[in-house]
Amino acid sequence: MASATPRPVTLRQVAQHAGVHVSTVSRALDPERRHLIGEAVLARVEASARELGFRPNYAAASLRRGRSMSIGVLVPNMTNPVMGQIMQGAETALVKLGYFPLMVSMRSGASTQLVAERLLSQRIDGVIVATAPQEDVILRTLLEAGIHAVLVNRPDKLGRLSAVIGDAEHAMALSIDHLHALGHRRIALLAGPQSILSGTQRLNAALKALQAHKLKPAAVGLCDEYSRDAGRRACLQLLASRKSRTGAGARFTAICAANDILALGAYDAMHEAGLAIPRDMSIVGQNDIPLVDLVSPPLTTVRVQHHEMGMQAARILIEEIEARAANGAAGQASKVVLFRHEMVVRGSTAAPRS
């Protein structure tokens, strides 16, 4: 005969074990109210809860509060190092604030409408959106349902939502200024997909940075996605054009890539073409993702604080959720937080050969 399923431990049992009132246990185990309890009593309650195997009833708690304490985090691809850093930052801040993150990657190809409906069925209190399409069906559906949202790594063109973004113009200016200071005047651009907002932003920022030096791009390679292979293919096309054409514009001496992944694809193309970095070509990336300091030669890039951006987006979202709960429909006005970047010079750039 199968044994009966043990009954869950109650708050009253924890209170009796810890020698405190049940209301004290309720406050001690509630992330929003635990600060009301002294440290000694809090430690005693937590020890009793662990010893008895108490598990909070989050469903009941969410019904009492009218909130699930769950936040959706939407990213285009979890394997992308940039998205990984943003997710880790958001998760760190959300957990500290007493919320549970639900990570969703759109790389699986799931229906955007289905993803939106699943998130709504989980009764999420808000969503951090790092997905890249300029027309975002999921975001529109969640906003229509009254879900709070904050954007990270992308701005809101309509100015409705708070956003935490990197300064694309500053980042590209750092890259172009660095190459120009080394003596490069014929600089090619390896641009990201133009269907994605970051792709258009970074290309326009690079063109503006070149214009500040009274330069035009020697060539522009458009990548159809942010991947190493896309960077390799686009760079090989640039090199083929460089060989087949004559004139100063065609024979570029440096490549400014829209991100580090594309820059690594350019490394592959240089290897296939028998060219050495930086002797034959200088290459600059963007983002300073993990391990680019270990490739040969180490990649010169622009460091972006993606972990901190994820944390900031989470904090802003929770502030807005709690302000809306306290003040009603008015809540807080949207804000934009702009992160500045820093140049990290390594071995992939040098003065052009005479």
The domains found in the chain, sorted by start residue, are: 11-56 (1.10.260), 68-166+306-340 (3.40.50.2300), 168-304 (3.40.50.2300)
- The tokens describing 53, both together, are 């195997």
Which pLDDT score, from 0 to 100, does residue 212 have?
97
Residue 247 has a pLDDT of 46
Q: Report the predicted TM-score, pTM, of the whole model to 2 decimal places.
A: 0.76
**What pLDDT, on the 0 to 100 scale, is given for residue 61?**
53
Other CB atoms within 10 Å distance of the CB of residue 230: 20
**Which tokens is 186 given?**
């014929």
Query: Which pLDDT score, from 0 to 100, does residue 353 have?
Result: 86
What are 77-82's contacts with CB under 8 Å, separation 24+? Answer: 77/105, 77/106, 77/107, 78/103, 78/105, 78/107, 79/107, 80/226, 80/261, 81/260, 81/287, 81/289, 81/290, 82/153, 82/259, 82/287, 82/289, 82/304, 82/306
Q: Could you state, in chain order, the average pLDDT of each consecutive group of 10 residues for the chain (354 residues)?
A: 63 88 84 80 89 70 62 85 92 91 75 76 88 68 86 82 92 97 97 89 96 96 94 95 58 95 97 96 96 96 95 95 75 82 96 87
pLDDT, position 258: 96
What pLDDT is stored for residue 260 in this prediction? 97
* Residue 224: how many other CB atoms lie within 10 Å: 14
Q: Distance (Å, rounded) from C-alpha 190 to C-alpha 263?
A: 8
Output DSSP code: residue 6: P
